[in-house]
Structure 1
Amino acid sequence: MRANPIHSNVLGILAACGAAAAFSVIDVTFKFLSAAYPLYQVVFFRSVVALALLLAIIIPLEGGYHILRTRNVKLHLMRVTAVTFANICFFSGLAVLPLAEAVAIGFATPLIVTTLSVLFLGEKVGVWRWGAVFVGFAGILVIVQPGADTFQPYALLPFFGACGYATLHVLTRRAGGSDKASTLSFYPTLGFLVISAMAGLAFGHGKWVTGTPIADLVLRAWAWPVGIEWGLFAIAGVSGAVGGYLVGQAYRQCEAGLVAPFEYIAMPLAVFWGVLVFAEWPDRSVWLGSALIIGAGLVSVWRETRTPGPPTRPRPRSSG
């Protein structure tokens, strides 16, 4: 019996909205916890919870543990490297920038994918998508304001993070769809666990602390969570596993052009969390830049559905 396309589209849209909500929860928990805990510790606890959910529930539902076998070992190692770099940059920026500003700059991922796909995959890009790239970068410049008195070098961190996520997506295209979504999610999550554990062993004693906030985000000593903070670590892990699974399901259910716009609800959610939790209200440059980036991203995704090749994820987030 053929699946009802309307039913599939509704499920895909709901999955995309759920993924965007889950990713926004990760953002707010990371930003909240980064005030007291080093980045490697937050990533470690999140990875433990996410990996446990993948192994206990998601992978068995996707077909069993045999799907973890892959012929793309070297590719997955490169993906782990790219997404680790992306996470360090994005979440470091998230710790020192207003939530909505960091999230808005991170939305540059699909625009950067367009550029990288030309350079490394030999894809053809027309006037529409090149125009979207330039408009999107204009939006980033509006937010970052290079050369202005209000320019913050830290604003470049989520941009570098978007570059890392874009590299991840280009490498995923190289896989040619041979691995399942849960397999693609498993290896970066395992990589996060190993790398964050190694960082904890290297920096957990706190002897490398410099007094510089952005450096100490990584070099700060390990501190055991207390009270409600255990719950926040668990929420970050569950949100990561659920968000990664839902976004994969969304793009399996329906076309990227239909799903992608619903992922952009992460922007108003970022504003909501920023105001509610951190008393941060975006200024006019963030609103204008966000409109340019999101509009350009939607045009880029729309063009993706009219040309051959796998769809580009518009949302910069870690796998798993």
Structure 2
Amino acid sequence: MVIMKSKFLHLTPMVLAGVFALFCGYSLYEIQCKALEVKITATEVKNIGESVKILNEKISKIHADLKIIQLDIEKRYDAMLKNPTFDSVTVKHAGSDAKISLYFNEDGTFRQVFYDASGTERVFVGINDQGGSAIRLKDKNGKTRISMGTNGNAPNESGAGLLVASPNEKPAIVLKAQQNLHAIHLINPTTNDENVRILSTSEGHSGFINLGKNGKTLTFLGDIDGRSFYQMGDEYGVPRFVMGSAVSELSPFVLKMLNEKGQVRLMSGIADDGVSFFTFMKDSQKPAFNLTANNKGDFASYVYKSPGQVAWETLSGVSTGKTLLDIFGVGNRR
């Protein structure tokens, strides 16, 4: 009995496990598979542990880098608070390309630009080195539609302007306000022709309104030092009708009608002494027939055979009750 006990104790653990397994109903093949599963699981655990170790090392490095970046930001922030100067600043939206950029130049000028969600420039604000300022508003295609600003600090150049453009950036409306000049221009953006021009100057107290088409003046209304006039032209821009107090130095008010060549063919007016006149002109711009009347009602008519030579003269004096007729130099009175 002692000998049997000794032999049993010298059995290896593997043999004992096999005996136990057989006793419990497991086959040797199943016992080998279970041992293999335990061995694979241990290898995987070892690999995972090494991966976790590497990951922890990377995380530690990222933390160290973030700490350096944080210290640099804090250093820059403290420096900015002590001396808040910088060349450019850009603030960007996190979810799109919308941003605001501010740029400073060495000469003290600056510009500020606003961009929409697609990154297109929409608003520009700036000051140039001449003291002028500008604002530009752009559409979604980046085309300038409205531009306004001032043009410097020089007394003779100081002024402001506004430009409204078409979608292809062609000028459509232009407003100018300078020291001695104020103007409004309405322009056809397709043909680039100025259709309307309104101008006023403080020097000479003059101003005018010009209406045109295809670069030709059709209607003109103006004032020069308190003397006004009105002009109408044909489709070619040739003046055909003119009237006003600034048309002739000989009369405070004159009406003229012109032919297709711009030559005066009919003229009527009132002179400074109150004498009214009506004159038909030849192509040579010399009078062919003339009628006059003064404030007393005296009437005179002249027919000219050549420049400066009267062919027919009729005088009628209301105050004297006499009429004089002179034909070709032959006097006939009654």
Q: TM-score range by the shorter chain?
A: under 0.3
| Higher Cα Rg, which structure | 2
The one of the two structures with greater contact order (alpha-carbon pairs below 8 A, sep at least 6) is: 1
TM-score (norm. length: structure 2): 0.14
